[in-house]
Amino acid sequence: MAAAPNKRGTSLKATIKDQSGAGKLKIGELLSKEGQITNTQFQAAQNQMKKGGGRLSSILLQMGHIDPETIVNVLGRLYGYQVVKYSDIKPSPQLIQAIPFQEIKEYLAFPLGARSDQIVITMTEPTDTTAVEELKEKINGFLKTNKNLKVCVSTENDIIEAYRDFYKISEEEYKEFIHFDDEPEDEEPVTSVDDFGSLVSEAADELEVHEVDDSSTSDEFMASDAPIIKLVNGILTKAIQDGVSDIHIEPFEKSLQVRYRLDGSLFKSMNLPLSIKNAVLSRIKILAELDIAERRVPQDGRIKLRLGKKKTVDFRVSTLPTLWGEGIVMRILDQSALNVDLSKLGFETDTFKAIKRCINRPYGLLLVTGPTGSGKTTTLYSLLNRLNQDDTKILTAEDPIEFNFRGINQVPVKDSVGMTFAAALKAFLRQDPDIIMVGEIRDITTAEIAIKAAMTGHLVFSTLHTNDCPSTIGRLIDIGIPSYMLASAVTMVLSQRLGRRLCPECKQEVTGYDPNELELYGFNKKEIPKLKIMGPKGCAHCNGTGYKGRVGLYELMEVTDEVAKAINANVPEDQLRKLAVQEGMVTLRDAGLEKVRQGVTSLDEVLKKTTITKEALPAYLVNPDIEKYEDKDVIIREGNNDIDFFKLVKGAVYVVKGGKKIAEITEPGEYFGEMAAITGEARTASIVSKGRSEVKRFPGDKLLEVIEKYPDVANHLFGVLANRLDHANKLLLKTAAQKTDKH
Ligand SMILES: [Zn+2]
């Protein structure tokens, strides 16, 4: 905390005790004077403050009139306040101990340090002279000193996080701030839909009358009928009320079915009579600005639904012609429901700290991985949202763009017109960005440009469809990126899953687990006797499912010096995982088990979403019989020195050598990888799953036992040896014959 505030800054400091309460409004006056807010906005915020209390800056922020960075920027740039960022908050422990959290939280102030002549603090509204005066008295009281107060400025978020880090405040205390954060009073609640039955019959009745009256009624006319409008609005608002993610409207022979997707599972909501099918579908298509006359080809559109004054919800609409008519699926893009606050995603404290470290580096490639539906987009958006500041240029290439961010340049990718991820990325580099997000790395071209961008001073975010962190590195090597480049460009890999969260109203303890089994799942032998595992029951609160909402499971591999060395040395995936764990990585399974210990989710859910990694148990114990691989999973990696071999059980695999596919193994019962077991030499080719495959693994270091136990394997191995010998023999004969010819 070096430089003292300049003269303009000091002029705002309190010299006499201010009892008028004007200090509380000072920040509003400044922002208004600088043109950051209008008079009306200022007035509205003041009214809100009178009604519900709170700080003016927080209210302005909540109302969306200013950005989180506005105050810091204005006070820092124009009024000479020293800006203290989260990463700069390193208070002395004595100070934290001496000044209780309860005494400073209402000021959103944080003590930074004490010197011989002054005490340095930071707060969100240093312009509030009354607050500064009160704080000065309080802090001096606690420290038994009589020093001046030097006041710096920080964002609300930074201060709250500093509270969490240094005052170790409880989740409840933390949530109080968060709650405070999103408490805008919605004067007009969402139209409530209590009685769908009456909406539907109202719509159907009205239409029947129309059909009797006028048999040539056009769809458009019917679609604009009040009951249809009401019904469609009802379908949309109910979806928002219930917090579903998608609405499926599907025509069948005898009815039009409406289903909702909630927490990842579909459930049926209602059947609509066929008499209103066309009218309902047309109404939705009109809202989405689609061609209502066109029913034979798929169409895409968007609906913007306004709810109350401030809230709008976007729906992405797509139609599909099916046997019984057009089906429509609507994805809800509810901006307010999107959790783009990184601190609210449910990271464990250490993981969260590591993430903050990684995104605060000036450059590097940061990857988020996981299967479809694992919440990668939300995580990426949260990372970007956190970095979205006035002094940072952010460009994104997305397919599709799901949410619009103020201040971020978002570019839609359209393969059909040549606007690919790679093309967008190339163009980005000429736009002088600080941060780039590319929706997905699918090919070598995109991967190469992303790596290059990361190595030339940009922060680059992207996603990959890989199962965990170590395999992500393997995938990039498979795509064709040299390992030394990965070692220097990648700063972190975050792999994630979404599991269902147990309903807090009805979750109950599950007993009767076999301790041996629990150990096999990854629990520690010592903790098992004391373990309390919760499971689902089902109540009205959770629609009888026993689950409500989701919980993220995260595996974060920070590319530390050691991890970088290992990547550079191209070590096998298992070794990389082992090392990453030593360097602090918590595997997905362990992250899941932690959520089980906390009673947040059930053991079943974790077992379903994560697999135990091979370090914990030898491979042939984890999966004594069959191993399953997804498309493009690498079973054997070229150049590695492992010696297990495999028998194909189901599906097919590719043989890849030097990045080129040289063969395919498609016959169940075929063996592969056995030469390494026989000769102990490095792998001469990679084996990659083609689609899903199932293979049986044989431990190469237990060759004798395997031969003893499995006669058919022994047969095969000797067959391979005999063939090799025969082949070598023929080669020798051929060479000998050629030599004789020449002489
Ligand atoms: Zn429940």
pLDDT of residue 250: 92
Q: Has residue 336 got a pLDDT over 70?
A: no
Distance 246 CA to ligand 1 centre (A): 22
For the chain, the straight-line distance linking the first and the last C-alpha, in angstroms and rounded, comes to: 89
Q: Counting every residue, how long is the chain? A: 743
pLDDT of residue 1: 43
139: part of which helix (H) or strand (E)?
Answer: helix 129-143
Domain made up of 227-336: CATH architecture: 2-Layer Sandwich (3.30)
Distance 507 CA to ligand 1 centre (A): 7
Distance 410 CA to ligand 1 centre (A): 40
Give the confidence band of 194 by pLDDT, cuts at 50, 70, 90: low
Distance 509 CA to ligand 1 centre (A): 13
Could you give the 3-state DSSP secondary structure of residue 246? strand
- Per-residue burial over 202-222, b = 16 or more CB atoms within 10 Å of its CB, e = otherwise: bbbebbeebeeeeeeeebeeb
Distance 505 CA to ligand 1 centre (A): 5
pLDDT of residue 509: 95
Task: State the Cα–Cα distance between residues 290 and 286, nearest whole angstrom.
Answer: 6
pLDDT of residue 710: 74
Where is average pLDDT lowest: 9-13, 292-296, 482-486?
A: 9-13
Strand duo 409-412 + 626-629: pairing: unpaired
Distance 553 CA to ligand 1 centre (A): 21
Distance 510 CA to ligand 1 centre (A): 15
pLDDT averaged over every residue in the chain = 83
Distance 337 CA to ligand 1 centre (A): 21
Max Cα distance, the chain (Å): 115
pLDDT of residue 14: 40
Domain made up of 342-500+550-586: CATH architecture: 3-Layer(aba) Sandwich (3.40)
Q: Is 279 exposed, middle or buried (0-12, 13-18, 19+ CB in 10 A)?
A: buried
- What is the percentage of the chain residues whose pLDDT exceeds 70? 87
Task: State the Cα–Cα distance between residues 151 and 123, nearest whole angstrom.
Answer: 7
Residue 557 backbone dihedrals phi, psi, to 5 degrees: -105, 105
Where is average pLDDT lowest: 233-247, 514-528, 706-720?
A: 706-720
**27-177: what fold?**
GMP Synthetase; Chain A, domain 3 (3.30.300)
pLDDT higher at 709 or 95: 95
Distance 591 CA to ligand 1 centre (A): 24
pLDDT of residue 18: 46
Distance 347 CA to ligand 1 centre (A): 24
pLDDT of residue 417: 86
pLDDT of residue 168: 87
Distance 502 CA to ligand 1 centre (A): 8
Distance 318 CA to ligand 1 centre (A): 33
pLDDT of residue 741: 66
**Where exactly are the structural domains of the chain?**
27-177, 227-336, 342-500+550-586, 620-733
| Span 344-399, pLDDT tens digits | 788 888 899 999 999 988 899 999 999 887 888 888 888 888 888 888 899 999 88
Distance 215 CA to ligand 1 centre (A): 49
Provide the residue type at 667 as one letter.
E
Q: Has residue 615 got a pLDDT over 80?
A: no
CB atoms within 10 A of CB 572: 17
Distance 44 CA to ligand 1 centre (A): 40
572 touches 682 (CB < 8 A): no
Distance 515 CA to ligand 1 centre (A): 27
Distance 593 CA to ligand 1 centre (A): 21
| Span 264-291, pLDDT tens digits | 777 888 888 888 888 899 999 999 989 9
Distance 459 CA to ligand 1 centre (A): 42
- Its pTM stands at 0.52
Distance 262 CA to ligand 1 centre (A): 14
pLDDT of residue 652: 92
Q: What is the mean pLDDT of residues 84-101?
A: 88
Q: What angle is formed at CA 318 by the lines to CA 312 and CA 321, rounded to 5 degrees?
A: 150
Dihedral sign, Cα of residue 701, residue 706, residue 708, residue 714? negative
Distance 506 CA to ligand 1 centre (A): 4
pLDDT of residue 527: 93
Residue among 495, 480, 533, 491 at smallest CA distance from 656: 480
Distance 500 CA to ligand 1 centre (A): 12
pLDDT of residue 189: 40
Q: What is the mean pLDDT of residues 495-508?
A: 92
Q: Do 342-500+550-586 and 27-177 fall under one CATH topology?
A: no
Distance 341 CA to ligand 1 centre (A): 26
273 touches 257 (CB < 8 A): no
Distance 552 CA to ligand 1 centre (A): 19
Could you give the 3-state DSSP secondary structure of residue 739? helix
Distance 484 CA to ligand 1 centre (A): 51
Distance 100 CA to ligand 1 centre (A): 38
Distance 548 CA to ligand 1 centre (A): 7
Distance 592 CA to ligand 1 centre (A): 21
pLDDT of residue 622: 41
268 touches 244 (CB < 8 A): no
Give the confidence band of 601 by pLDDT, cuts at 50, 70, 90: very high
Distance 599 CA to ligand 1 centre (A): 14
283 touches 235 (CB < 8 A): no
CB atoms within 10 A of CB 480: 12
Provide the residue type at 175 as one letter.
K
Distance 546 CA to ligand 1 centre (A): 5
Distance 390 CA to ligand 1 centre (A): 44
- For 546: left if phi > 0, alpha if psi spans -120 to 50, otherwise beta; the answer is left
Q: Does the domain formed by 620-733 have CATH 1.10.1740.10?
A: no
Q: What is the mean pLDDT of residues 297-311?
A: 78
Distance 508 CA to ligand 1 centre (A): 10
Dihedral sign, Cα of residue 56, residue 61, residue 66, residue 71? positive
Q: How far is CA 510 from the centre of its chain?
A: 30
Task: State the Cα–Cα distance between residues 213 and 78, nearest whole angstrom.
Answer: 71
Task: State the Cα–Cα distance between residues 334 and 336, nearest whole angstrom.
Answer: 6
Between the CA atoms of 353, 359, 362 and 365, what dihedral angle is there, to the nearest 10 degrees? 120
Distance 345 CA to ligand 1 centre (A): 22
Q: What is the mean pLDDT of residues 145-150?
A: 90
459 touches 434 (CB < 8 A): yes
Distance 118 CA to ligand 1 centre (A): 54
Give the confidence band of 206 by pLDDT, cuts at 50, 70, 90: low
456 touches 432 (CB < 8 A): no
Task: State the Cα–Cα distance between residues 79 and 71, nearest whole angstrom.
Answer: 10
Give the confidence band of 669 by pLDDT, cuts at 50, 70, 90: confident
- For 480: left if phi > 0, alpha if psi spans -120 to 50, otherwise beta; the answer is left
Task: State the Cα–Cα distance between residues 328 and 333, nearest whole angstrom.
Answer: 16
Q: Has residue 63 got a pLDDT over 50?
A: yes
Distance 236 CA to ligand 1 centre (A): 25
Q: Has residue 213 got a pLDDT over 80?
A: no
Q: Has residue 178 got a pLDDT over 60?
A: no
Provide the residue type at 134 as one letter.
E
CA-to-CA separations, 390 to 38, 68, 386, 394, in angstroms, rounded: 20, 10, 12, 10
Q: Has residue 248 got a pLDDT over 70?
A: yes
| Span 121-131, pLDDT tens digits | 999 999 998 89
Distance 193 CA to ligand 1 centre (A): 22
Distance 567 CA to ligand 1 centre (A): 45
Q: Has residue 667 got a pLDDT over 50?
A: yes
Q: What is the mean pLDDT of residues 472-500?
A: 94
Distance 601 CA to ligand 1 centre (A): 13
Between the CA atoms of 638, 639, 645 and 648, what dihedral angle is there, to the nearest 10 degrees? 0
CB atoms within 10 A of CB 350: 11
Distance 539 CA to ligand 1 centre (A): 4
Provide the residue type at 415 as one letter.
D
Distance 602 CA to ligand 1 centre (A): 13
pLDDT higher at 175 or 173: 173
Distance 536 CA to ligand 1 centre (A): 8
Give the confidence band of 15 by pLDDT, cuts at 50, 70, 90: very low
pLDDT of residue 60: 87
Distance 408 CA to ligand 1 centre (A): 39
Distance 177 CA to ligand 1 centre (A): 27
| Span 419-470, pLDDT tens digits | 899 999 989 988 889 999 999 998 999 999 999 999 999 999 999 999 899 9
Distance 398 CA to ligand 1 centre (A): 37
pLDDT of residue 434: 92
Distance 541 CA to ligand 1 centre (A): 5
Distance 491 CA to ligand 1 centre (A): 41
Residue at token pair 């009139």: 65
Distance 543 CA to ligand 1 centre (A): 7
Distance 200 CA to ligand 1 centre (A): 29
